[in-house]
Amino acid sequence: MTAPALRIAGDTHVGKVRTTNEDSLIVEPRHGLYAVLDGMGGANAGDVASRTARDAIRDFVLARRGTLAPRPLLEKAIVAGGTAVHTSAQTHREHHGMGTTVVACLIADGRAVIGHVGDSRAYLLRDGRLQALTRDHTIVEELVGRGLLAADEAERHPYKNVLSRNLGARPETRVDLLELVMRAGDRILLCSDGLYGYASAEAIQYLLGSGDAPDHVCRDLIELALRGGGGDNVSTIVIEAPAPPKTSTQVVRTNGATAWWQKRQRFVAIAKERGLTKNPIVRGLDPKEALELVASSLCEAVFHDLEKSTGVNVWTFAQNLAGGWFVRGGDWAAVRGMIDILGASARAVVDEIRAGDRQLGFLLDVAVSRALVVAELALGGLLAERLRQVDTDLIELVSLTDRIERLPEEALYGTEGTDTTERFVERPTIPFLRPDRAVTNPGVSAAVLDGVHKALTIARARTSPRADLVKQVLVALDAISTEGGEDFSTAVLSARELYGVRAIDDAGIMPLFDALDQARIITASSVHQLKATEAGRARILRAISTAHQRLVGATTGLVLEAIAPFSQRLREAQAVTSQVRDAVAKAERQRADLERRFATIVDPNLPWSARGTTEW
């Protein structure tokens, strides 16, 4: 059961906001058992819950490790932890409602068994990529799993932290388990939500993927969460499988970092030559200061990233460079230009190194290209965030503008005047379909008109007797073509007649468009039955097509006009839904608070079933 070759470290911090640490850890290298537990519950019950579960899990594993296989052993140990918390909550009134999450890892014979309940997580870093091993037991995550909620919506959902499962809510808990074979170089991270709630996955990946020892990584991860706000207790355990022997690539890479650092003055000089000091981002700065702030900083960031095989320093550099610029209203072009200058300068330096040492230069080339990718990733994040903000502003502004545009009508007739019972066909048409709008190609010869009339007559004769709508379309086409087309009036009037009182919310629209399509097909084949020259048939077909296009255009315009009020109402409904969602979230918080208070003042002699519950 022992795993002597592993390197392990664990650490926990109370955070910047909380006064007590309700997280608990198990770090038992001798028995291959590791766990993070995050307690919850008022009146300091959270730490009681996590400690109770921690002791029960550890005791169970130590007592039964010879008799059970790792997977059932860990599962039963976690269930025992839950039972212990539940029993304690039932026994002590002040602990009622307490619970804890757990994510535990049992390592035996090169295999890791991961078990979890709640939203504490396990990650695996393999081949430089971070992979989540657990899926949170939250209501929102379960909705995502069932396809009822998009992943993006889940991030903003007011219930995203509400657990659907925890240790202590019930006497027995269902545990999710998975098993994996550990490979050389793998790193497993166990953590509470105080880490991933305040640090991005990218930053976690970079720190976990650095060459630092696990204890340094744990410390850096906690520091990262604290820098991100530190709003919760934060706990981390890092388990590292023995890394493969150092490759020649890594050795050269270390040399690469040194070679890069030795060229820093050259890098700054090239950046200056390429016009860094003239970039709008550093306008107003002394050139020397600009070079120091931008070129030297990037050079240093690349050096540290090379040393540690990470990208976090370049990421931070890019974010700092562009973040402030964007906040000041700066444009992308300046940032793009700056990155181009820095990238070209870096490549020039690498080329010089390559001339002296081909292999080292090649490796540096890959590393510098990779650093530029990291910079673009950081910039993309900033751009996407600004896009999201502008989208939000735009939606608000559109709603506001629409309300302002509706004001005079409402003021004149009251809101009842714009209700849905009014037939939209009686309201003015949208500008481009006004009957008085002149057409661009008016007039056809009498011979063509005669041909059109004949073709449409043949088409009507070929139409099924029950296809009334198709026949009406053909009559309309005849009228539009015959009139000669001084303007769009016939097309608009025909479209209104055809459209009639069709509703947009049932099958009323599609038969009309089907009829328009069928009329087009029948007409086209009818033209071929006319006794006329090829050129004459072409002119007739063109005239009918023009009429058909006008009719379709006019009909589409009416449909657009019909749905306009609905889209406005939809936007308004979305705004109201958002307000209601906030209100519900607030009410839920108040309810939970009241129930917690109620639990502490209720008569202890009542049976449990009569006291209510605060558990989900």
Partner 1 sequence: MSTVPPLARAYEALRPKMLERMLDLRSTLDASLARLDERTARAQVDAVLEHLGNFITTGDLRLHRAFLQTFLAMRTAEAQSPAAVLATLVAIGDAAAQVAQDEGAGSAEGPELTLLLTRVTASTARALNDLIAEELESRRRSWRDLTHRSRARS
Residue 529 φ then ψ, to 5°: -85, -5
Q: Least CB distance from residue 358 to partner 1, whole Å? A: 10
Total residues in contact with partner 1, by rule CB under 8 A: 43
| Residue 61 or 372 with smaller CB distance to partner 1 | 372
How big is the chain, counted in residues?
Answer: 616
Nearest to 25 by CA among 222, 229, 242: 222
* CA pair distance 121, 221, nearest whole angstrom: 14
- The one-letter code for the residue type at 315 is W
| Residue 332 or 616 with smaller CB distance to partner 1 | 332
Which of 63, 132, 587, 606 lies at the binding interface for partner 1 (CB under 8 A)?
Answer: 132
Residue 517 to residues 224, 524, 541: CA-CA distances in angstroms? Answer: 62, 11, 15
- Which tokens hold the place of 219? 């410390």
* CA pair distance 101, 121, nearest whole angstrom: 10
| Residue 393 or 468 with smaller CB distance to partner 1 | 393
| Only segment of 143-151, 435-443, 519-527, 606-614 that touches partner 1 (CB under 8 A) | 143-151
| Residue 37 or 379 with smaller CB distance to partner 1 | 379
192-231 mask for partner 1 (x: CB under 8 A)? ----------x-----------------------------
Q: Least CB distance from residue 19 to partner 1, whole Å? A: 35
- The one-letter code for the residue type at 467 is A
**Beta-ladder partners of 189:** 123, 238
CA 418, distance to chain mean position in Å, is: 38
**What DSSP state is assigned to residue 209?**
T
Applying CB under 8 A, does 461 fall inside the site for partner 1?
A: no
Applying CB under 8 A, does 443 fall inside the site for partner 1?
A: no
Q: Least CB distance from residue 42 to partner 1, whole Å? A: 35
**What DSSP state is assigned to residue 602?**
S
Applying CB under 8 A, does 362 fall inside the site for partner 1?
A: yes
| Residue 197 or 553 with smaller CB distance to partner 1 | 197
| Only segment of 126-134, 181-189, 284-292, 544-552 that touches partner 1 (CB under 8 A) | 126-134
* CA pair distance 151, 142, nearest whole angstrom: 11
462-501 mask for partner 1 (x: CB under 8 A)? ----------------------------------------
* CA pair distance 166, 598, nearest whole angstrom: 21
Q: Specify burial of residue 363 (Cβ count, 10 A radius: 0-12, 13-18, 19+).
A: buried
* Whether the Cβ atoms of residue 231 and residue 190 lie closer than 8 Å to each other: no
| Only segment of 225-233, 250-258, 362-370, 592-600 that touches partner 1 (CB under 8 A) | 362-370
Q: Least CB distance from residue 332 to partner 1, whole Å? A: 4
Applying CB under 8 A, does 365 fall inside the site for partner 1?
A: yes
Applying CB under 8 A, does 151 fall inside the site for partner 1?
A: yes
Q: Least CB distance from residue 321 to partner 1, whole Å? A: 14
Q: Least CB distance from residue 183 to partner 1, whole Å? A: 12
Residue 1 to residues 41, 73, 80, 83: CA-CA distances in angstroms? Answer: 35, 12, 20, 25
Residue 509 to residues 132, 548, 569: CA-CA distances in angstroms? Answer: 48, 17, 20
Which of 69, 152, 355, 609 lies at the binding interface for partner 1 (CB under 8 A)?
Answer: 152
In degrees, rounded to 5, the angle at the alpha carbon of residue 553 between the alpha carbons of residues 550 and 559 is 145
Q: Least CB distance from residue 147 to partner 1, whole Å? A: 8
* Whether the Cβ atoms of residue 539 and residue 490 lie closer than 8 Å to each other: no
| Residue 124 or 473 with smaller CB distance to partner 1 | 124
* CA pair distance 376, 398, nearest whole angstrom: 32
| Residue 23 or 305 with smaller CB distance to partner 1 | 305
Which of 17, 150, 583, 587 lies at the binding interface for partner 1 (CB under 8 A)?
Answer: 150
- Which tokens hold the place of 215? 């204890």
Residue 590 φ then ψ, to 5°: -65, -40
Q: Least CB distance from residue 337 to partner 1, whole Å? A: 12
Residues of span 370-429 touching partner 1 by CB under 8 A: 370, 372-373, 376-377, 379-381, 383-388, 390-391, 393-394, 397-398, 400-401, 404-405
* CA pair distance 275, 5, nearest whole angstrom: 53
Instruction: Give the binding site for partner 1 (CB under 8 A).
Output: 127-132, 147, 150-153, 202, 331-332, 336, 362, 365-366, 369-370, 372-373, 376-377, 379-381, 383-388, 390-391, 393-394, 397-398, 400-401, 404-405
